[in-house]
């Protein structure tokens, strides 16, 4: 970044669910999304040197190194069918010779043959083929695959082929990406803490009305959270200033409002020590906490976090009941990762945090080296190499195109 400031959504590359503030001198990653603000930047890597290009190379390498599982039916058929065809051909030749010799002997005796020897030879050869044909072996497998993929489609699960079904049955370990797979992938308002005489609803309403002037994703989360709580936001801020990396200051309904970080309060000579204990508790849960100041007094806290999807807890519970090892892997920070893992019931030692895109595939390899058949579920660009490397790759239908292309099941 040469100049300017903004928040950048890097979740598709790093797994960080909360947009990252970028200011002059900081690095940007190609394929990430600028949320708001103007950034003047210089490209330092282009073409084959970009992060996205390196991920595509990793996907191609994983595709080339993964040996396909050969079906037992195909193996047997490749040996059995040629043998049967040879036996049928020998039967046809044998019966033809016998028939011709018998016909010649009959004619010599002055009698007419009861049947054409060629027809007898054909019937005998066809009989060998019919008797030897592995009908159950050859027909049951594709029928089962057709029914299985059809049932999956009815449930909204797209299975690319029979090999995917075969591999998923043998899975013994499941790696789940955090952002967008276990969680919703976007910040939501989770906590409102009242710390003064101002009622929590009034504090949240004033903060949300001030945040209506901001395009920041955290601001949008506060506004949506206030509306979800039934609060009416009918007043626009009379004065509004966004402060990059710190928060905002605004005037709403005649009140001077500050919403932001400890640094913002320090700049306005407002002590934040009284709220440290509350903030630390919320931050320990992996939440992003903002302090709300009304007319120079700390009124309370609002916390925002990427929340767990409905059904994630139950799904992980069912996987564990089936005897599978369940792991969570993410590029997000350790604190946020452990907080989500605790909510969904994943053991702390099975949490892999701050993992780079190229290392996700390596973690899949490590589990495979232990002799485990591994499934990986993800939705981001950074998940594509791991989806290909895994024995069974599962992409979320709401994920990126590259993730769905790299997976076996969507």
Tell me how crowded residue 322 is: count the other CB atoms within 10 A of its CB: 11
Distance CA 299, CA 302 (A): 10
- Secondary structure (DSSP) of 103-162: HHHHHHTT---SS-HHHHHHHHHHHHHHHH--HHHHHHHHHHHHHHHHHHHHTT--B--H
- Secondary structure (DSSP) of 305-354: EEEEPTTHHHHHHHHHHTT-EEEEE-SS-HHHHHHHHHHHT--GGGEE-S
Task: Tell me the C-alpha to C-alpha distance, in Å, between residue 91 and each of 79, 104, 116.
Answer: 19, 20, 16
Give Cα 137 distance to the centre of its chain: 35
Q: Which of 9, 74, 177, 379 is catalytic?
A: 177
Element (H, E) at 241: strand 239-243
> In this structure, are strands 247-252 and 255-260 parallel, antiparallel, or unpaired?
antiparallel
List all residues 6 or more positions away from 348 whose beta carbon is below 8 Å from its beta carbon: 338, 341, 342
Distance CA 407, CA 396 (A): 9
Q: What does the CA dihedral 389, 395, 401, 403 come to, rounded to 10 degrees?
A: -20
Distance CA 42, CA 251 (A): 37
Based on the residue annotation, tell me whether 177 is a catalytic residue of this protein.
yes
Q: Catalogue the active-site residues.
A: 177
């Amino acid at each position: 970044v040469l100049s300017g400031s903004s928040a950048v959504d890097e979740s598709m590359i790093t797994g960080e669910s909360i947009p990252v503030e970028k200011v002059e001198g900081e690095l940007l990653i190609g394929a990430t999304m600028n949320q708001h603000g103007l950034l003047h930047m210089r490209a330092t890597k282009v073409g084959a040197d970009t992060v996205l290009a390196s991920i595509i190379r990793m996907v191609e390498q994983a595709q080339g190194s993964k040996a396909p599982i050969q079906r037992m039916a195909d193996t047997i058929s490749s040996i059995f069918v040629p043998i049967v065809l040879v036996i049928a051909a020998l039967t046809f030749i044998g019966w033809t010779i016998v028939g011709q010799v018998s016909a010649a002997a009959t004619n010599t005796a002055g009698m007419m043959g009861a049947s054409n020897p060629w027809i007898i030879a054909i019937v005998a050869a066809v009989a060998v083929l019919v008797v030897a044909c592995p009908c159950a072996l050859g027909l049951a497998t594709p029928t089962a695959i057709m029914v299985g993929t059809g049932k999956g489609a009815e449930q909204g699960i797209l299975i690319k082929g029979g090999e995917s079904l075969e591999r998923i049955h043998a899975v013994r370990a499941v790696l789940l990406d955090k952002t967008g797979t276990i969680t919703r992938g976007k910040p939501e308002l989770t906590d409102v803490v009242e710390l003064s005489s101002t009622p929590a609803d009034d504090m949240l309403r004033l903060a949300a009305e001030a945040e209506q002037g901001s395009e920041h994703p955290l601001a949008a989360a506060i506004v949506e959270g206030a509306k979800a709580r039934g609060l009416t936001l009918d007043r626009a801020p009379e004065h509004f200033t966004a402060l990059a990396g710190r928060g905002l200051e605004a005037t709403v309904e005649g009140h001077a409002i500050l919403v932001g970080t400890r640094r913002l309060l320090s700049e306005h000579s407002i002590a934040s020590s009284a709220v440290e204990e509350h903030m630390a508790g919320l931050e320990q849960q992996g939440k992003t906490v903002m302090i709300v100041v009304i007319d120079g007094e700390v009124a309370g806290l609002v916390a925002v976090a990427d929340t767990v999807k409905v059904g994630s807890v139950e799904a992980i519970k069912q996987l564990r009941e089936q005897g599978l090892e369940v792991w969570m892997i993410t590029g997000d920070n350790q604190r946020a990762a452990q907080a989500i893992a605790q909510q969904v019931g994943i053991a702390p030692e099975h949490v892999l945090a701050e993992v780079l895109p190229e290392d996700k595939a390596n973690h899949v390899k490590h589990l495979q080296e232990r002799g485990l058949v591994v499934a990986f579920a993800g939705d981001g660009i950074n998940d594509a190499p791991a989806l290909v490397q895994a024995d069974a790759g599962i992409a979320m239908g709401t994920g990126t195109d590259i993730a769905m292309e790299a997976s076996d099941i969507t």
